[in-house]
Amino acid sequence: MGDLNLRLPAAGYSRKLRMLPPPPTILIGAGMQFLVVTHDPLIEEVFRRLLAEMNATVEFRGDARSGRAALEERRFDVVAIDCDDVYQGTSLLRAAHASRPNKSSVVMALTSGETSPADAVDMGAQLVAAKPLPPDRARFELRRACQALASGQRRRRYAVQLPVFLSFGQVLDRRAEAFNVSLGGLGLRLRDPLEEDEIVHVRLWVPECATPIQARGEIAWSDCEGNAGIRFTAMNERSLAALAQWLQRLALTTGCVANREPVTALCVTD
């Protein structure tokens, strides 16, 4: 008989082992906050319907002045500005990242031919979408904005001290301590090293969130001292939204902390 490499619970451990179901598929854009500044009724109609389908929240403003007020009031994940059809829309495009709540928001410029893509990027847009935008193209551009936001958040890693519980193989709820976290994964300290081929179920609580964040992940790296990096591979919508909101709060108060763990995109499907 070959070595099955079984892990037995510690002495006195009497809880029943149970199989953990895989997390549900993530919807792109679920829980995100959008600001759309336009007075084009077709754009408003299409964006309102598509963002509702994506389970995102959207606020519409019809002019640059009210758009600027919205940017100063609170943070949005994605800001879309109809810079050619809204009077002083290009000025609003320049001001978007200057507002304190939206320094790290993804800004999308909607153009009608007056503003070139290169000029829009120079004014602060990360994405440029030329009108008209039929539903299929609008859906593509909105998903692209969501992915751009998620990619940017995964590159930021924040120093933390949080208890984390890991389940894998026959091990249930092994306690570890997270020393950094991002939307794409976390760094851990454990008493015993992990096997790098393990699929891990992760459970942790973050401040101001009543329910735990749960994810499935894989070992990105580990060392003989019990340090390891977990790369998230799947997460349900509620956990993704809660983690993203917490990271946004951390972004206002802490700096980015580098880590050895390679960061890749969380698997997202339609």
Q: In the chain, how many domains are there? A: 2
Asked whether the beta carbons of 264 and 232 are under 8 A apart, the reply is no
Domain, as residue range, for 217: 158-253
The 3-state secondary structure of 204-240, one letter per residue: ECCCCCCCCEEEEEEEEEECCCCEEEEEEEEECHHHH
For residue 133, the domain's CATH number is: 3.40.50.2300
Per-residue confidence (pLDDT) for residue 182, from 0 to 100: 84
User: Does residue 237 lie within any of the structural domains?
Assistant: yes
Q: For the residues 112-123, what does the mean pLDDT come to?
A: 90
One-letter amino acid at 74 equals R
Looking at the predicted structure, is the pLDDT value of residue 171 above 50?
yes
Q: What is the pLDDT of residues 43-52, one digit of tens each?
A: 999 999 999 9
Looking at the predicted structure, is the pLDDT value of residue 73 above 80?
yes
Instruction: Let me know whether 50 and 93 are in one domain.
Output: yes
User: Does residue 233 lie within any of the structural domains?
Assistant: yes
Instruction: Let me know whether 150 and 163 are in one domain.
Output: no
Q: Among 123, 155, 187, which residue terminates a domain?
A: 155
Q: For the residues 221-244, what does the mean pLDDT come to?
A: 81
Max avg pLDDT among 88-97, 117-126, 248-257: 88-97
Per-residue confidence (pLDDT) for residue 219, from 0 to 100: 81
Q: Among 110, 137, 155, which residue terminates a domain?
A: 155
Instruction: Let me know whether 149 and 175 are in one domain.
Output: no
User: Does residue 21 lie within any of the structural domains?
Assistant: no
Q: What is the pLDDT of residues 197-224, one digit of tens each?
A: 678 999 998 887 888 999 998 887 776 6
